[in-house]
Amino acid sequence: MTEESPKSTRALLLNWGRRLLVVAVLLGAAWAIYRDWDRVWATISTIPWEATVASELAALAAVFVAVFAWRVLVNGLGKPLSVLRAAQVNLVGILGKYIPGSVWAYLLQIELGRKAGLSRSRVFVATIIGVGTGMLAAVLYAASTFGPLSAKIGWIWYLTPLLPIGLIAACPPVLTRLVNLLLKLLRRPPLEQSLRWSMVGKSIGLQLLAFACYGLHLWILAQSVGATPGFIGFLLCTAAISIGFNAGILAFVVPSGIGIREAVIVAILIASMPYSQAFAFAIVSRVMLVVADLLGAGIAAITAKRWAPIDSTENPAATLDAHESG
């Protein structure tokens, strides 16, 4: 009893610390909206409905492209998974990111994956590699804006060292060793085969396409009121939202990186527009991306249930999981 008490107290303090951090972030965001609401609303109210619809469609496209990026990795690690089933596991599972904590999205994906016949390790490895390739894609977009942004946002150059590090880590021989090291730390068996160049390359390419769609979503909003014109503006929006996404992933305590993603987007967009406009677009983008996540998960769940029902026979993943646990 006396040995468990310090652990229980520490866990309780950590839980309350996370809750207080979430509350602090939400209160800070609410205060920022209240303080600048007049100027923010002046931007939001001028966005045409046509631009809003087109922007939402671009966001929804990004959601589904991300499924293909994840599916490439899952299929590269074992028996192929259908598009409909991959969409259900990935898009419904990813809704766990809206719950405070670091593991809910992963746990939900793992459980949905097991129902679809995937082992826990396979889903976990595919998701972790997907996070890594997504971060590399974000750094590549950031690198494309180093020239235009460096004069106004000097801190962007601090991302420069991440580019060679990310490229080296993405090389399949290196990535295979890194994944096996992680699996060893988690007391799981190593990969049955080395990761392939085609598998990692396709994942990075699809991640770049997904972030391009997210950037298009943000650029359409900004372009509709005359901000960030041209291709440089598109690259700026894509870099802003891709870096913001990954900053939100690293800030895992905050649900879906709320507040963190918006802060990064604003910090980059102010290179080409007033703060109030950048803040307005970050807020609108947050709402629209939540809608895209919900629509994507709903479409995936309905179509998978209708056209790709799970076989009620014995789940092959259960046997593999039992073997991995032994």
Q: How many domains does the chain divide into? A: 1
Is 234 among the domain residues?
yes
Tell me the two tokens of residue 305: 């249930």
Residue with tokens 């971060």: 135
One-letter amino acid at 55 equals: S
Is 283 among the domain residues?
yes
Give the pLDDT score at 100. 65
Query: Poorest-confidence range of 6-10, 11-15, 19-23?
Result: 19-23
One-letter amino acid at 180 equals: N
How is 158-208 classified by DSSP, letter by letter? GGTTHHHHHHHHHSHHHHHHHHHHHHHHTT-PPPSS---HHHHHHHHHHHH
Full-model pTM = 0.81
Give the pLDDT score at 73. 93
Is 22 among the domain residues?
no
Is 38 among the domain residues?
no
pLDDT of 98 > 80? The answer is no
Supply the mean pLDDT for the chain.
79
Write the pLDDT tens digit of every residue in 225-266.
Answer: 877 777 888 888 998 999 888 888 776 666 666 778 888 899
Mean pLDDT of 202-219: 95
Give the pLDDT score at 198. 92
Write the pLDDT tens digit of every residue in 54-89.
Answer: 999 999 999 999 999 999 999 988 888 888 888 888
One-letter amino acid at 213 equals: C
Q: Which residue has the higher pLDDT, 147 or 285?
A: 285
Write the pLDDT tens digit of every residue in 154-195.
Answer: 666 677 778 888 899 999 999 999 999 988 888 888 888 889
Nearest to 70 by CA among 173, 175, 177, 210: 210
- Gap between the Cα atoms of 50 and 91, Å rounded: 26
Is 121 among the domain residues?
yes
How is 31-99 classified by DSSP, letter by letter? HHHHHTHHHHHHHHTTS-HHHHHHHHHHHHHHHHHHHHHHHHHHHHTSS---HHHHHIIIIIHGGGGGS
Give the pLDDT score at 259. 76
Is 13 among the domain residues?
no
DSSP class of residue 159 equals: G
Write the pLDDT tens digit of every residue in 135-149.
Answer: 899 888 888 776 666
Is 35 among the domain residues?
no
Helix/strand number for the chain, H first, E second: 15, 0
What are the angstrom distances between the C-alpha of 165 and each of 140, 170, 324? 12, 9, 31
Is 318 among the domain residues?
no
Q: Residue 210: CB partners within 8 Å, gap ≥ 6?
A: 62, 65, 66, 69, 134, 137
Mean pLDDT of 28-42: 62
Q: Calculate what percentage of the chain has a pLDDT beyond 70.
A: 74
Tell me the two tokens of residue 284: 């609108």
Quick one: pLDDT band at residue 320, thresholds 50, 70, 90? very low
- Gap between the Cα atoms of 20 and 103, Å rounded: 19
Give the pLDDT score at 16. 60
Give the pLDDT score at 267. 87
Write the pLDDT tens digit of every residue in 43-55.
Answer: 777 888 899 999 9
- Gap between the Cα atoms of 105 and 63, Å rounded: 15
- Gap between the Cα atoms of 112 and 123, Å rounded: 9
Give the pLDDT score at 201. 93
Give the residue numbers spanning the domain of 256.
48-310
Tell me the two tokens of residue 125: 């490895």
